[in-house]
């Protein structure tokens, strides 16, 4: 099970490939972050936004997670509006845990 809420019938072949990749990154945490973002936005992406998402997706899971949680600075090549959209989406959709 991928976790996606989209059906492939809703997507062209390129977006299907991007969605699959977003949900099958290698770590479950990044599957949830990138896959959840793709579920919410992929259908409405312009062609440029799709390319921008693919570019951010080219970063390793370790780098993306470090950038999203702010433990290391984002590499300039990935410090893009799309990365910031993904980070904001994650921060908005992640419950706050209190002890």
Query: Which residues of the chain are modeled with pLDDT < 70?
Result: 1-8, 93-99
Query: H/E/C letters for each residue in the chain?
Result: CCCCCCCHHHCCHHHHHHHHHHHCCCCHHHHHHHHHHHHHHHHHCCHHHHHHHHHHHCCCHHHHHHHHHCCCCCCHHHCCHHHHHHHHHHHHHCCCCCC
Q: Does residue 1 lie in a domain region?
A: no
The structural domain count of the chain equals 1
CATH code, domain with 27: 1.10.150.250
Q: Does residue 32 lie in a domain region?
A: yes
Q: Does residue 75 lie in a domain region?
A: yes
Query: pTM of the prediction?
Result: 0.84
Full domain range(s) for residue 47: 11-93
Q: Does residue 98 lie in a domain region?
A: no
The C-alpha atoms of residue 12 and residue 18 are separated, in whole angstroms, by 10
Q: Does residue 43 lie in a domain region?
A: yes
Q: Does residue 5 lie in a domain region?
A: no
What share of the chain has pLDDT > 70, as a percent? 85
Q: Does residue 86 lie in a domain region?
A: yes
64 in Cβ contact with 90 (< 8 Å): no
For 42-64, how does the pLDDT look when each residue is reduced to its tens digit (9 = 90+)?
999 999 999 999 999 999 999 99
Q: Does residue 54 lie in a domain region?
A: yes
């Amino acid at each position: 099970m991928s976790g996606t809420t989209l059906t492939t019938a809703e997507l062209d072949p390129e977006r299907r490939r991007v969605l699959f990749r977003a949900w099958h990154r290698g770590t479950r945490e990044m599957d949830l972050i990138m896959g959840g973002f793709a579920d919410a936005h992929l259908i409405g992406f312009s062609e440029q936004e799709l390319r921008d998402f693919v570019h951010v997706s080219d970063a390793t899971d370790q780098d993306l997670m470090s950038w999203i949680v702010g433990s290391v600075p984002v590499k300039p090549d990935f410090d893009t509006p799309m990365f910031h959209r993904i980070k904001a989406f994650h921060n908005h959709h992640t419950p706050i845990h209190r002890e």
